Structure 1
């Protein structure tokens, strides 16, 4: 059964199956992935580990236990995975199973008394598979024993340094570290066993932490036959004030070394910011990664870097390096994959609302021409090699109408073959690529700005549609041709709006200067870009009724600047999710480096800038009905910001509503909460635009995991 939706509604969005990236095995014939799906009928989630036959596109279900996660190949047909059970003897088990069994069974390799995650495995020869994973470590460096942890009599927490809390949790004393080990098959039982001395803390004796909080994962480290590389914040500087993240190398030959060598730092000269995506070549001799220049700027441009010989960490080369230090390639490389012969690199980078794949020589000395994209549309989230004798790539991607697709890309001919689309390229969700459009408009300076558009499925050019003006957060971010379960423009389009998503000054994917120019100017050029975009819509999109418009946004998109300025009077209603009320309260956030950069310093050093761009200073001009949404676990923008905005609206007698979620962070992630979020948002804007019927559910014939 597949989803057959007569209309794309919030219920369809939130109950649609969600697939992980599919990872091929070494022959490129099979790929492992997971899929989950929430049911609003049973109020429960289904979950499955599946294997995809790449040639036919047919999938087979292997396991449905929701405690199973992170399937990772260890051979052509065998894979390990995590079983998080939290029983009396263990919290997590490392399991192994085979896709060749007609009825797959699994056996335990090792049990752990804490949560482990981010599995990586690599065949290093002689029947040995190198293994790495992450887990919390105690002060002694050993793996934390959660079952022995004594519950304190007091709930007090005492801190003498930053962070106190990060994203949605208060920081604990346990650091996450990378453990390594080796697996080998027992000759008698033919089962994999963990070789002595078991799992070893690669960061032992240091103050280093990996993955990097709070969103770090398996991409923060890599393994090869030559050793292990990982990322960590610089322990010598305050992580709340600075972004500096370094690459470290631990040489290992067998992955059974009882005492790991001291991690060796990779020095990059004047580049002192974030590092990311450390990726070994297939032979383990070379390392590629990215590095930013500024150590207090999270949205600086990543530079693509190479260590051509991992035994010589002093030789670090930058791709497209320029004498002025700006770098010759003005995009932001992210995911890195080596070609099978190690002669080329494939990287993803954002460009004008798309996350595309680029190809370039694997040596900076040979990379003379700027790389060109191999695809045109969508957002590629994962790249994998296929067979070792096959130069083709396996892509996992999404788009504004397709929530998950797997495809094969030939990097020579640029031919792309669809293997599997979970939504049949949007058809089973009731969506079509014809709904998507875009335009460029004159920005507030001598530059053009870009906007994406989503129209209703029953769009008729001769009709007039109310406008849903969506403002993205970040502010260094962008709307793109990608899927979202939180701010999906098709949801608004299917209510009867034309959804327009401008990418004003500060947006990524349009060159680094465009990103940089929002700093110190929050209510300046970005606001004027939005004004120009609105005027462009009024003058050039005859099917949009700008006299019947609403504006919505989250985080910086909920920056209440618009409410206090003339653009705010252009809208019938506003929606502000986890927004900003008072810039002088920005120091209640957790990652202080963000506000330090964007406001040019501290409130006692640069108070005039904090006051200049303070929305609270213009509350006397507020007049537009506004829905305020905020969550208790949002430590990035604490809930006091939402309460203050609502208090101001109510005090001024402006129609307003406050919705709060006690168990959500900066994002509303739980399906039942998200459905309420959609109901409140759509109910609010539909009330003021005259679209009084909220369709939260549609005729759905069968919901199934695919």
Structure 2
């Protein structure tokens, strides 16, 4: 008798701020009996040991909360809703209770819920007087901008699209004094950032990517097409927000880059929220066009350029033959990490965030790289500074 093979898939590990622990998810599937086991685990980076945090198949998208070793994650619950949970990774192994039971460790609590299927969890410390945490989720939306729940809105027959919903997590004193204060969803409801715009984000591909939008103290940056039925390329948009609870939000502003009409991808804020980096192609239809790295500085002042259709650009003298497909900021915001394929190998490169200062060919920093990247066309890397005109 032949035994069907078991397959396992592990997500990327997410380290905490101290670099001592890492979160990851592992999915185990046995095709023979269709068993599907999903575990959220915590890896101790000092001892290289792994412990179980959750084995509830409803739990997903665990992230570090930013305070100590607290973890925040999404839980799919009955009636098509999603709960937001917060727990402490330091309690794993001491008071862990199998999540197939109805009980939870005391350190874990439900911070709130949204009445739809949610994904693409994003968090941002707003650094305000209330110590609020901005939270954004991707949820289905009806054509009039309301939440769409496939289980409770069965009679709805209109268009359904993805939308970005945001609010805050705020500290609240719990009734049980032993629990102290806990973060919970703000009394104000979740807001649809794209209501009335005709835009959809994350993109349908088929479900969009977690890199289709990002949030910061500056607001929201995201990818979208001109309309839900637009077959063209995606553009980057920016919504400036003074808070994550404001009712009258500005309309999204498209980020134009002079001479670049191709699709945009992977928008991400710098750690301080002052700048945005993303990838963009120069030609809208050229099949062999490469991604370019774009950096928009002073994004908080972008609203002053609403009437400008093309961004001012500063271009370096050389260019790079590789086409990066992801970009991320260093912790201090001074460098960018980009991933590109060279000689059929994925390589990680570090480049200065001030792209116009690049004078030498970027070299891969990943350990499996034995030779420097062959960089001949560094014109693909340039910056688009937001120079604010002097007030007269």
Task: Give the alignment's TM-score, normalised by structure 1.
Answer: 0.46
Among 140, 145, 163, the residue aligned to 1:177: 163
Change (3 A) 1:348 1:316: farther
Change (3 A) 1:317 1:377: farther
Q: Could you tell me how far apart the structure 2 residues matched to 1:306 and 1:61 are?
A: 39
Among 1, 6, 9, the residue aligned to 1:18: 9
Among 307, 310, 319, the residue aligned to 1:328: 319
Q: Could you tell me how far apart the structure 1 residues matched to 2:34 and 2:44 are?
A: 31
Which residue in the other structure is 2:360 paired with?
Answer: 369
Checking the alignment, whether the CA contact within 8 Å between 2:116 and 2:140 is kept in structure 1 is yes
Checking the alignment, whether the CA contact within 8 Å between 1:18 and 1:37 is kept in structure 2 is yes
Which residue in the other structure is 1:360 paired with?
Answer: 351
2:192 is the alignment partner of 1:201: yes
The structure whose Rg is larger is 1
Which residue in the other structure is 1:78 paired with?
Answer: 70
Change (3 A) 1:249 1:91: same
Checking the alignment, whether the CA contact within 8 Å between 1:346 and 1:359 is kept in structure 2 is yes
Checking the alignment, whether the CA contact within 8 Å between 2:335 and 2:352 is kept in structure 1 is yes
Checking the alignment, whether the CA contact within 8 Å between 1:200 and 1:259 is kept in structure 2 is no
Which residue in the other structure is 2:215 paired with?
Answer: 223
Which residue in the other structure is 1:590 paired with?
Answer: none
Among 26, 30, 39, the residue aligned to 2:21: 30
> 1:146 is paired with a residue of what secondary structure?
coil
2:123 is the alignment partner of 1:121: yes
2:150 is the alignment partner of 1:146: yes
> 1:200: how far off?
0.8
Kindly report structure 1 stretches of 4+ aligned residues shifted beyond 4 Å. 9-12, 314-322, 509-512
Checking the alignment, whether the CA contact within 8 Å between 1:305 and 1:317 is kept in structure 2 is no
Q: Could you tell me how far apart the structure 1 residues matched to 2:155 and 2:220 are?
A: 35
CA RMSD across the alignment: 2.8
Change (3 A) 1:98 1:316: farther
Checking the alignment, whether the CA contact within 8 Å between 2:4 and 2:32 is kept in structure 1 is no
Checking the alignment, whether the CA contact within 8 Å between 1:200 and 1:260 is kept in structure 2 is no
> 1:37: how far off?
0.7
> 2:151 is paired with a residue of what secondary structure?
helix
Which residue in the other structure is 2:386 paired with?
Answer: none
Which residue in the other structure is 1:257 paired with?
Answer: 246
Deviations 1:682-706 (A, max 9, x none): xxxxxxxxxxxxxxxxxxxxxxxxx
> 1:43: how far off?
3.0
Change (3 A) 1:260 1:298: farther
> 2:251 is paired with a residue of what secondary structure?
coil
Q: Could you tell me how far apart the structure 1 residues matched to 2:112 and 2:285 are?
A: 41
Checking the alignment, whether the CA contact within 8 Å between 1:30 and 1:51 is kept in structure 2 is yes
Deviations 1:275-333 (A, max 9, x none): 011111111101111111122346521110011111344595768656xxxx8111111
Which residue in the other structure is 2:272 paired with?
Answer: 283
> 2:285 is paired with a residue of what secondary structure?
coil
Checking the alignment, whether the CA contact within 8 Å between 2:111 and 2:183 is kept in structure 1 is yes
The gaps in structure 2 that reach 5 residues or longer are 97-104, 175-179, 378-392
> 1:103 is paired with a residue of what secondary structure?
coil
> 1:174: how far off?
0.7
Which structure carries more relative contact order (alpha carbon 8 Å, separation 6+)? 1
> 1:151: how far off?
4.8
> 1:110: how far off?
2.3
Change (3 A) 1:20 1:317: farther
Change (3 A) 1:511 1:354: farther
Checking the alignment, whether the CA contact within 8 Å between 2:258 and 2:311 is kept in structure 1 is no
> 1:351: how far off?
0.7
Change (3 A) 1:65 1:197: same
Checking the alignment, whether the CA contact within 8 Å between 1:136 and 1:174 is kept in structure 2 is yes
Deviations 1:615-662 (A, max 9, x none): xxxxxxxxxxxxxxxxxxxxxxxxxxxxxxxxxxxxxxxxxxxxxxxx
Deviates more, 1:369-378 or 1:91-100: 369-378
Change (3 A) 1:63 1:362: same
Among 268, 293, 305, the residue aligned to 2:294: 305
2:123 is the alignment partner of 1:132: no
2:335 is the alignment partner of 1:344: yes
Q: Which one has the bigger strand percentage?
A: 2
Among 104, 109, 112, the residue aligned to 1:110: 112
Change (3 A) 1:298 1:277: farther
> 1:118: how far off?
0.4
2:172 is the alignment partner of 1:186: yes
Deviations 1:148-191 (A, max 9, x none): 32358xxxx9xxxxxxxxxxxxxx71110111111122134522
Q: Could you tell me how far apart the structure 2 residues matched to 1:289 and 1:262 are?
A: 20
Checking the alignment, whether the CA contact within 8 Å between 1:286 and 1:307 is kept in structure 2 is yes
Change (3 A) 1:56 1:214: same
Checking the alignment, whether the CA contact within 8 Å between 2:280 and 2:292 is kept in structure 1 is yes
Checking the alignment, whether the CA contact within 8 Å between 2:163 and 2:201 is kept in structure 1 is yes
> 1:223 is paired with a residue of what secondary structure?
strand
Deviations 1:35-62 (A, max 9, x none): 0111245431111011111222211101
> 1:107: how far off?
2.6
Deviations 1:482-526 (A, max 9, x none): xxxxxxxxxxxxxxxxxxxxxxxxxxx9999xxxxxxxxxxxxxx
Checking the alignment, whether the CA contact within 8 Å between 1:135 and 1:178 is kept in structure 2 is yes
Alignment coverage as a number of residue pairs:
346
Deviations 1:125-157 (A, max 9, x none): 1421111110011122121133332358xxxx9
Among 277, 282, 292, the residue aligned to 1:293: 282
Q: Could you tell me how far apart the structure 1 residues matched to 2:248 and 2:85 are?
A: 25
Deviates more, 1:100-109 or 1:125-134: 100-109
Q: Could you tell me how far apart the structure 2 residues matched to 1:511 and 1:143 are?
A: 49
> 2:300 is paired with a residue of what secondary structure?
coil
Checking the alignment, whether the CA contact within 8 Å between 1:320 and 1:328 is kept in structure 2 is no
Q: Which one has the bigger helix percentage?
A: 1
Checking the alignment, whether the CA contact within 8 Å between 1:130 and 1:182 is kept in structure 2 is yes
